[in-house]
């Protein structure tokens, strides 16, 4: 069983839904990074159950820092974060020890662990375990924010109701709006409609799911690796580890399959006003090409299935008798989790990106130690252009071939 993920930065999660405590351990963080516990508490609050559209299991989720943080900064050792379970009701699950809940991990877990797993509330398979991920992810988000990298999500779709998309012409404003919203829907009317739909599903003993759209800004170009360690591979690995996530795509995702290449390609254009000086006119590929960031906002879509714990009568099997039974779940459950999952998805993305950035920084440091000069994208194009002029290779290029790399003044200088 793998509870640890990461390359240079490693995350370990622990605990069960109705055990004594849950939590996370972060190893690999450099010493001296500021840790704002008030900001961490704000992130934990975004995950808490509130109101009629969430479970009535209201855990306080107070994070105890057992190690790795001293006087408000990382100490360079393992950061251990623990959250005590305060309002367990394991008796709610007595009837479920041998009766398998449809949509849950019960059947698969029974087969994997020979019936020895903690079945109460899903045990280690429960979404409750993501509280530790949020606590660890908050620290990662703070590190990224200090480097100008922002992460925000909104509920793009809930059941059949769609929110408006992020407005990329005013992305900073939309990011600030999304981060300020408790429910996470940009269009106020759609937000009200979604609330009503969740309440309707709850009144019928049912549940609903949806899709989250996540955007990341401020990432430099060149993060990641091709093939097995691509940005998509790393982030998808993390996102699919979040309970209830059943789909992950980047940019326009599956919609790209319906386009011609001329439509799917993002035209590359110069923009001297921006760092690097080169952008794409569109962002259908979600800021990623070849497994690497290209400097544009990274766009991620995450599909979250309806909560499997519903109050309707369902068909199941009694493991002791092998006979079919009718099962009706009791206890405290969410009619929808997508609004609480926003911060979980953002936390997973933050951890993954910080790990990727640390890997890149380590690689760049090795190159720097070997005498490789540090240049931004624009400088690299200009340097290569100058080399071609010196060697005579530039004469073979057409004006249109070199014009995207630099403006006229920079070409003349080269």
Cα separation, 400 vs 407, in Å, equals 12
- Residue among 302, 206, 300 nearest 246 (CA): 302
Residue 147's pLDDT is 96
Cα separation, 117 vs 120, in Å, equals 9
Please tell me whether 126 is known to bind a ligand. yes
Please tell me whether 360 is known to bind a ligand. no
Question: Where do the domains of the chain lie?
Answer: 89-251+286-363
> Is residue 199 a contact partner of residue 53, using CB atoms and an 8 Å limit?
yes
- CATH for the stretch 89-251+286-363: 3.60.150.10
Please tell me whether 39 is known to bind a ligand. no
Please tell me whether 365 is known to bind a ligand. no
Calculate ∠ Cα 219-303-295, nearest 5°: 15
Read off the pTM: 0.87
The tokens of 280 are what? 């794409």
As a whole number, mean pLDDT of residues 312-317 equals 92
| pLDDT tens column, 157-189 | 999 999 999 999 999 999 999 999 999 999 999
379 confidence band (pLDDT: 50, 70, 90): low
Please tell me whether 286 is known to bind a ligand. no
Give the start-end residues of each E strand in 200-333.
Answer: 210-217, 245-250, 268-270, 278-280, 288-289, 292-293, 298-304, 314-317, 324-327
Please tell me whether 306 is known to bind a ligand. yes
Quickly count: other Cβ atoms within 10 Å of residue 342's Cβ: 26
As a whole number, mean pLDDT of residues 328-344 equals 90
User: What stretch of H or E contains 183?
Assistant: none
Q: Is 63 helix (H, G, I), strand (E, B) or coil?
A: strand
Please tell me whether 333 is known to bind a ligand. no
Question: Torsions phi, psi of 405, nearest 5?
Answer: -85, -25
| pLDDT tens column, 21-78 | 999 999 999 999 999 999 999 999 999 877 778 876 677 889 999 999 999 999 999 9
Residue 180's pLDDT is 95
> Is residue 318 a contact partner of residue 98, using CB atoms and an 8 Å limit?
yes
**Is the CA virtual torsion 124, 125, 130, 133 positive or negative?**
positive
Please tell me whether 309 is known to bind a ligand. yes
Please tell me whether 209 is known to bind a ligand. no
As a whole number, mean pLDDT of residues 239-253 equals 97
* Residue listed under structure tokens 């057409």: 398
Helix axes 130-145, 338-369, angle to 10 degrees: 50
91 confidence band (pLDDT: 50, 70, 90): low
Residue 272's pLDDT is 81
Please tell me whether 307 is known to bind a ligand. yes
Residue 406's pLDDT is 41
94 confidence band (pLDDT: 50, 70, 90): low
**Mean pLDDT for the chain overall:** 88
């Amino acid at each position: 069983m793998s509870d640890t993920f990461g390359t240079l930065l490693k995350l370990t999660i622990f605990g069960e839904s109705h055990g004594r405590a849950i939590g996370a351990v972060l190893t690999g963080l450099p010493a001296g990074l500021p840790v704002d516990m008030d900001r961490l508490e704000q992130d934990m609050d975004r995950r808490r159950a509130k109101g009629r559209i969430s479970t009535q299991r209201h855990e306080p989720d107070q994070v105890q820092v057992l190690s790795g943080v001293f006087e408000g900064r990382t100490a360079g050792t393992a950061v251990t974060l623990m959250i005590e379970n305060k309002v367990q009701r394991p008796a709610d699950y007595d009837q479920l020890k041998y009766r398998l809940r449809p949509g849950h991990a019960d059947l698969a877990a029974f087969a994997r662990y020979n019936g020895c797993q903690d079945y109460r509330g899903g045990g280690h398979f429960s979404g409750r375990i993501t509280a530790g991920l949020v606590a660890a992810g908050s620290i990662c988000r703070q590190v990224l924010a200090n480097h100008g990298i922002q992460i925000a999500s909104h509920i793009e779709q809930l059941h059949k109701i769609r929110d408006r998309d992020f407005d990329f012409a005013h992305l900073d404003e939309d990011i600030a709006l999304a981060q300020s919203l408790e429910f996470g829907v940009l269009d106020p009317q759609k937000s009200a409609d979604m609330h009503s739909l969740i309440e309707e599903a709850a009144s019928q003993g049912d549940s609903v799911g949806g899709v989250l759209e996540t955007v990341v800004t401020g990432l430099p170009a060149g993060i990641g690796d091709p093939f097995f360690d691509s940005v998509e591979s790393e982030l998808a690995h993390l996102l699919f580890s979040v309970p209830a996530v059943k789909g992950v795509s980047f940019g326009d995702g599956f919609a790209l399959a319906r386009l011609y290449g001329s439509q799917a390609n993002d035209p590359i254009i110069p923009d001297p006003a921006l760092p690097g000086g080169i952008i794409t006119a569109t962002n259908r590929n979600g800021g990623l090409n070849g497994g690497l960031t290209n400097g544009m906002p990274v766009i991620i879509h995450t599909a979250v299935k309806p909560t499997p714990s519903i109050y309707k009568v369902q068909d199941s099997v009694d493991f002791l008798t092998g006979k079919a039974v009718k099962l009706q779940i009791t206890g405290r459950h969410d009619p929808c989790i997508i609004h609480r999952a926003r911060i979980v998805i953002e936390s997973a993305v933050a951890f993954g990106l910080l790990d990727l950035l640390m890997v890149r920084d380590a690689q760049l440091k090795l190159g720097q130690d070997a005498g490789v000069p540090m240049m931004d994208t624009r400088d690299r194009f200009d340097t290569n252009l100058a080399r071609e002029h010196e060697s005579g290779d530039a004469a073979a290029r057409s004006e249109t071939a070199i014009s995207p790399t630099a403006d006229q003044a920079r070409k003349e200088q080269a």
